[in-house]
Structure 1
C-alpha cells in the first residue's frame, strides 16, 4: 500500500518539480503513530536556497491537495535536498558535486580501491578524480560502472583555485564558492 501511495505522490509532484527545474530524487511516506509525514527529496544544478524550497513546498502542497492523493487526513510535507551522506549513484549526482571531496570505493585492475579525492569532470561514463598532495595535483580516471560506493566527504579544507580548475569549475563557479565560504 505504501509503495502504491508513494508512486502516486511521485506522479503528482514530478511535473511540478520538472517545471520548476528540479529532479525528484526520492518520495517517502512516513507514518509515525498519529501522523503522516511526506518527505520529498529534490535536487537541481546549482542547488536550492531555503526560500526556493519554501516556494516549491507550497506548490507541491497545492498539487497534492488538488489531486487528493492523501485523502482528507492531514499530513506534514517536508521538501529537502539530499544530505552529504547520501550515496552518489547517478551521473547527475556526480556532475552536481563537481569540486567537492568524495569518499569513493571502486575496482580497477582486479583490486579494490578506497580513496578520498575531489570530483572532477565526468564524460562518457568516466569520472576524473583530482587529488592534491603536498601542493601537487594528480588525476585518476574511474569508470562509473566500477564505483561500488561513493559519498560526499565533509571537508573543511578550502581547496586552491588550481585544484578547483582541475575539477572543471569555471571562474564564475569558483567565485560563487569563495563567496559562500566567506559568508
Structure 2
C-alpha cells in the first residue's frame, strides 16, 4: 500500500466530513526521518481546530489499519508563509498580494498577483528602464516557466 496515497484519501475523507468545502490538501509527505507532514489550507484560512480534527482522524485510522510499520510523528498544519505556492487554488487565495517568483532561466520577478489561469500567472510589476521613471506593467508568466513562487510579506 502506498502510504502517502492512503494519507491523501484519509485527509480528503475528513475534510468532506467536517463540511468545509473551502479546505484543501496541499501536500502529504512521509520523510525518511519518520515525520509524516500534512499541509492543509483553506480559501478562507484554516484554524487549529480543523488541523486537530484532521490529525486525530488520520492518526487513528493509520494506527487502526497498521499502515505505517515504523515509528513516525504526524504533523498537520497550514503551509507557513515561507512555503512556496504549488496549487492554482493557493495562487487564487493570494490575489492582491506581492509575490517573488523564481524563473526556470534563473531570473527573479516580483509583482502584485492580479490573476491566475490554469497555465499562467498575471502580475503587475515595476519595470525600470535606464534613464526613465519606473512604470507598472501587467505581465503574463507561463506557469511552466516558474520554478518557485513565494508570497512577499510587507511590514509597512
- Unpaired runs of at least 5, structure 1: 158-183
SS in structure 2 opposite 1:141? strand
Query: How many matched pairs?
Result: 142
- Unpaired runs of at least 5, structure 2: 16-22, 128-134
CA separation in 2, counterparts of 1:60 and 1:66?
Answer: 10
Residues 67 and 29 from structure 1, CA distance in 2 versus in 1: closer, same or farther, beyond 3 angstroms?
Answer: farther
Q: Quote how far apart the aligned CAs of 1:75 are.
A: 3.8
Q: Quote how far apart the aligned CAs of 1:138 are.
A: 4.3
Q: Quote how far apart the aligned CAs of 1:65 are.
A: 1.3
Residues 27 and 97 from structure 1, CA distance in 2 versus in 1: closer, same or farther, beyond 3 angstroms?
Answer: same
Q: Structure 2 residue aligned with 1:27, among 15, 29, 32?
A: 29
The 10-residue stretch of structure 1 (56-65 or 112-121) with the greater mean CA deviation from structure 2: 112-121
| 2:98 counterpart residue number | 101
SS in structure 2 opposite 1:63? helix
- The CA RMSD measured in Å over matched residues stands at 2.9
Residues 24 and 62 from structure 1, CA distance in 2 versus in 1: closer, same or farther, beyond 3 angstroms?
Answer: farther
Residues 15 and 124 from structure 1, CA distance in 2 versus in 1: closer, same or farther, beyond 3 angstroms?
Answer: closer
- The structure with the largest helix share of the pair is 1
Q: Quote how far apart the aligned CAs of 1:24 are.
A: 4.4
Q: Quote how far apart the aligned CAs of 1:101 are.
A: 1.8
TM-score normalised to structure 2 length: 0.72
| 1:139 counterpart residue number | 138
| 1:118 counterpart residue number | 112
Q: Quote how far apart the aligned CAs of 1:143 are.
A: 1.6
Residues 140 and 75 from structure 1, CA distance in 2 versus in 1: closer, same or farther, beyond 3 angstroms?
Answer: same
Q: Structure 1 residue aligned with 2:48, among 46, 50, 58?
A: 50
* Contact kept in structure 2, 1:14 and 1:24, CA below 8 Å: no
| 1:169 counterpart residue number | none
